[in-house]
Amino acid sequence: MNFVGVTSCTIGIAHTYMAREKLLQAAKELGMNGFVETQGSGGVENKLTEENIRNADAVIIAADVAIADKDRFKGKPVISVDTNMAIQKPKSLLKTVEKKLKAAGKLN
């Protein structure tokens, strides 16, 4: 599965970056490809490209606040969770997303 994600927390420091790292680590361990943008106190980092988004099977938003530029994901399955889910159960989250995509016929 290929996914893109955006992480953002209330203060924009710790959980934003922890969620990104946990998602990417879990993706690597599961043989998935992911690109994750952070929207933290320092602004947007690791900004997703149009190509990243186009090639993604799904979008995972792990945020405790509203994110900027959500409209760029139009037409993609979007899964929204809080940062704690991405930090504490990243593998479970990714497996659930993959399972839902397969059930919907959107992933082989």
C-alpha span between 34 and 28 (Å, rounded)? 8
Catalytic residue at 9? yes
For β-strands 58-63 and 2-8, DSSP reports them as: parallel
The backbone torsions φ and ψ at residue 13, rounded to the nearest 5 degrees and listed phi first, read -115, -90
Catalytic residue chosen out of the listed positions 1, 4, 6, 9: 9
**Residues with a known catalytic role:** 9
